[in-house]
Structure 1
Amino acid sequence: MAERDTTGQRPIGFKRLLHVAAIAGAVALAGCQTVVPRGPAPVKRSPVTRPVQPQQPVVEQGIPTDTQRHRVALLVPLSGPNAGVGQSLANATQMALLDSKNERIRITSYDTATGAALAAQKALADGNQLILGPLLADDVRAVAPIAHRAGVPVVSFSNDATAAGNGAYLMGYVPAQSIGRVVDYAREQGVTTFGGLVPNGTYGQRASTAFLRAVESAGGQVASLQTYDRVPGSITSAIIRMSKSAPYQAILIADGGNAASAAVPVLRKNGMGGARVLGTELWNSESSIASKPALEGAWFASVSDGLYRQYAARYRARFGAAPFRLSSLGYDSVLLTIRIMRDWPMGAAFPEDRLKDRGGFAGIDGAFRFGRDNVAERALEVQEIRGGTTVTISPAPSGFER
């Protein structure tokens, strides 16, 4: 503490002390006077503090805002009769993201079973810049014009070539390509005379057209082409009609494995047992096709199964069930997106022109590229059913010539 400075002060005199005391006494008497109260003293009140309402979190409609990932919609049936294949496609897309360790793509699934057009509108409202799917051709036709108006391309899993165009691209296995490939291989092996059995309906009509064109292009001859209904006895009647133009070196059965397997004994009974049986891409989607003894030695063209078998094993380990064969389309559609992503700035529209890259793309199902008709052209191999399994007898090309 600093000491007070007293230098230069004079002592206080007696008279001055009396004067100070008199003033003090007057102040004391004044303090003893009675004061009439004028009312209660005002009570000081504490300011009222209103309780602070907790701030409510902002809830965004749709998927959250994301500036670090591209938004991609997956339109597949997740309910109804096709829910199994739709869920398998959805699982495959997520598996592709995990396998590639890609964190720049967000895939959101939308159920087309409740309305493909509504699913597309919701996907576009959520800001998706690319649509993978739908699966069914009718759904593609419903979605394509909606997406096209928004400038968003559609990469579908359908195999109906008539649904392509208007911003819609098809990744499905088109029967015309499978038929053309197996006919070309048969022609290379010396086959010149062909016969055909095709079911009535849209698939059969397209298979018939593809078969006639492929044989003509290869320099062969179709001696007989018969149609049948998928009812008991119809295919037998068609085979009997076909027998009138025998012999044949090869006969195409443009149907599933069960129908083809049932037809072969009838062919043998009617003198056509020596003809090589040819199948279509439908056979590749049937896991039990190789176990049908009647089809021993049959040929069919399809996408390669080498990488698919590895994929299927990983799928079973991750999801506890076998995948649908078509699920590889979902996996490959993600690989395609990742490939193009290098030229896709964040927040910008998807670069649709890159889908027409003539060098094509690679995936579980081998090399493919989209042609002028927006349909995937695929590098196919020819397989033979032999000893309860399928054996590749003509490998698929590894790529395309530009």
Structure 2
Amino acid sequence: MTIAASLAAPQAQSDRIWSTAKRATALFALIFLAACQSVIPKGGQRPSGPPPVESPDPGNVVLSDGDRHRVALLLPVSGADGDVGQSIANATTLALLDTRNTNIRMTTYDTALGVDAAVKKAVADGNKLILGPLRSDDVVAVANVAKPAGVPMISFSNDVGAAGQNVFLLGHLPNQSIDRVVKYAKAQGYTRFGGIVPKSVYGQRALSNLTNSVRGAGGTLVSIQEIDGSAASIDAAARKLTAAGAIDAVLIADNGRVAIATVPALRRAGLSNAKILGTDLWNIDATVASNAGMRGAWFASVSDNMFRQYADKYRARFGQSPSRLSSMGYDSVLLVARVAQDWRVGTRFPVARLTDADGFIGIDGAFRFLGNGMSERALEVQEAQAGKFVTIDPAPRGFTPAK
């Protein structure tokens, strides 16, 4: 399931590469849509006690541990983030069933009961790869145990500070989303940019990302203002942006709730015609599309095309809708299953295979890991319309050559 594409390739080579990508996508669709027997009661299974919890064996084929790769899934399947964590765990089970994979033993360890205990148990149990954790503040704790043990991690976090040294981030990275939407806006004639970012580590990184993206696109960065999420700070930031000079596009690097509260403040402050831009955080918040003030706003994100089909399958099996983040769980299993074809049981996980320059295809489209542990994704630009997000600029056909 690889996708090979180069935006810098000659036309003939580009057509051949894209044909390969389409065949890979078709193969993925066949696996994804394949019928399989359910081994989980409708509604799913929440662990009734402490971890670990093993995923069912696809096809009811029972293999000995000596015949299977041991992979740990570190997620919060209880507590405040339990719904999201359980949805990702369910997605990994669905992927194992859809691929009918029998040589991977997936075991879930509940990080909500203590991340240190979870990772130590996972390593002691002999797992050769860790999928997770979900929360950024858990990545370092897991890495501190996993790295000395020689166990690589594919984390669902987007904390770029944790990447590297066999820690790979499958989470959607905000710098790519910001860069994609800024470049698209510049191509549509928007040249003078403003920004609203939260007072947080995420906000500081977004500030740097926006600065670099505007400069790289050849635009002018007029002003960036920080907010703490309160109405007073949002109003003050809006007034400061207006006072800084003419602005024709404002990027709000925050979640949908904050964006919905910020747009009216921008309009009141005088930025009545400024194009509103955002990040892929908006793609997990349906209220953005349904809010009248957000109509016409642009943001860059992974495609939702395959996710819609996946969501239907998920609902049919588990009796509820999946978290938008759960696609990472499904894609992580597709990735491991692909690598496991040449992975000898009992040996270390072949980390070098993760950085295949051609990348991989999953529910969220084309992606690949770079040598620094970060992921690169082919993103599309979406527009918030009446109750829905509509693709206005499709994802590129592939990747430029890795540096």
Q: 1:276-315 residue pairs with structure 2 within 5 A? A: 276-315=275-314
- The Cα offsets for residues 272-331 of structure 1, whole Å up to 9 and x where unpaired, read as 111100011110111232101101100000111110111111111111111111111110
**For each residue in 1:341-380, what CA deviation from the matched residue of structure 2 results, as whole angstroms up to 9, or x when unmatched?**
1220122211011111111111000111111320111111
Deviation, structure 1 residue 148: 1.6
Partner of 1:110: 109
Distance in 2 between the 1:372 and 1:221 partners?
Answer: 32
Deviations 1:51-80 (A, max 9, x none): xxxxxxxxxx99895122211110001222
Distance 2:247 2:236 in 1: 17
Question: In the alignment, which residue of structure 2 is the partner of 1:355?
Answer: 354
Task: Name the CA distance, whole Å, in 1 between partners of 2:243 and 2:53.
Answer: 64
Conserved? CA contact 1:79–1:113, under 8 Å: yes
Contact 2:53 2:109 in 1 (8 A): no
Query: How has the CA–CA distance of structure 1 residues 390 and 118 changed in structure 2, closer, same or farther, with 3 Å as cutoff?
Result: same
The one-letter amino acid paired with 2:118 is: A
Partner SS state of residue 95, structure 2: helix
Q: Does residue 157 of the first structure (1) align with residue 161 of the second (2)?
A: no
5+ residue gaps, structure 1: 1-60
- 2: CA distance between counterparts of 1:352 and 1:115? 27
Asked if the contact 1:340/1:354 (under 8 Å) is kept, the reply is yes
Q: Distance in 2 between matches of 1:67 and 1:357?
A: 28
CA distance in 2, matches of 1:262, 1:142: 35
Q: Which residue of 2 aligns with 1:47?
A: none
Instruction: Find the counterpart in structure 2 of residue 188 from structure 1.
Output: 187
Q: Given the alignment of the two structures, is residue 371 of structure 1 paired with residue 398 of structure 2, yes or no?
A: no
What SS does the aligned partner of 1:233 have? helix
8 A contact 1:264–1:273 mirrored in 2:
no
Matched residues, percent identical?
55
Matched residue type, 1:347: G
User: Tell me, what secondary structure is at the counterpart of 2:244?
Assistant: coil
Q: Whole-Å Cα distance in 2 between the matches of residues 112 and 166 of structure 1?
A: 22
SS in 1 for 2:147: helix
Equivalence for 1:345: 344
Distance 1:84 1:212 in 2: 35
- Letter of the 1:303 partner, please give it: V
Match of 1:248 in 2: 247
Q: Which residue of 2 aligns with 1:7?
A: none
- RMSD of aligned residue pairs (Cα, Å): 1.6
Equivalent residue letter for 2:66:
T
TM-score, normalization: structure 1? 0.82
Once the 2 structures are TM-superposed, how far is the Cα of residue 118 of structure 1 from its aligned partner?
A: 1.7
1:64-75 aligned at under 5 Å gives the runs: 66-75=65-74
CA-CA distance at 1:265 after TM superposition: 2.0
Which aligned pairs between 1:169-180 and structure 2 lie closer than 5 A? 169-180=168-179
For residues 86-105 of structure 1, the aligned pairs below 5 Å read 86-105=85-104
CA–CA distance in structure 1, aligned partners of residues 140 and 188 of structure 2:
41
Name 2:124's counterpart in structure 1. Answer: 125
What SS does structure 2 have at the residue aligned with 1:244?
Answer: helix
Q: Judging changes above 3 Å, is the alpha-carbon distance between structure 1 residues 294 and 348 closer, same or farther for their aligned structure 2 residues? A: same
CA contact (8 A) 2:75 2:108 kept: yes
- The 2-side partners of 1:332 and 1:274 are apart by 39
CA distance in 1, matches of 2:90, 2:286: 20
Partner of 2:44: none
Corresponding residue number in structure 2 for 1:394 = 393
1:145 positional shift: 2.7
Higher RCO structure, 1 or 2 (CA under 8 Å, sep 6+):
2
Instruction: Tell me the distance in 1 between the aligned counterparts of 2:91 and 2:202.
Output: 27
C-alpha distance after superposition, 1:93-129 (max 9, x if no partner) = 0000011111111101001112222211211221211
Which position in structure 1 is the counterpart of 2:83?
Answer: 84
> In the alignment, is the contact (CA less than 8 A) between 1:156 and 1:168 conserved in 2?
yes
Query: What stretches of structure 1 move > 4 A for 4+ residues in a row?
Result: 61-65
Residue 138 of structure 1: CA displacement?
2.1
Higher radius of gyration, 1 or 2: 1
8 Å contact kept, 2:164–2:371: no
Work out whether residues 53 and 107 of structure 2, in 8 Å CA contact, stay in contact via their aligned partners in 1.
Answer: no
Trace 1:22-61 onto structure 2 (pairs within 5 A): none
Q: Which deviates the most, 155-164 or 249-258?
A: 249-258
Q: So what's the TM-score if we normalise by structure 2?
A: 0.82
Distance 1:73 1:269 in 2: 51
Deviations 1:210-240 (A, max 9, x none): 0001001111111111111112321011101
Q: CA deviation at 1:130?
A: 0.8
How far is 1:92 from its partner? Answer: 0.5
AA in 1 matched with 2:192: T
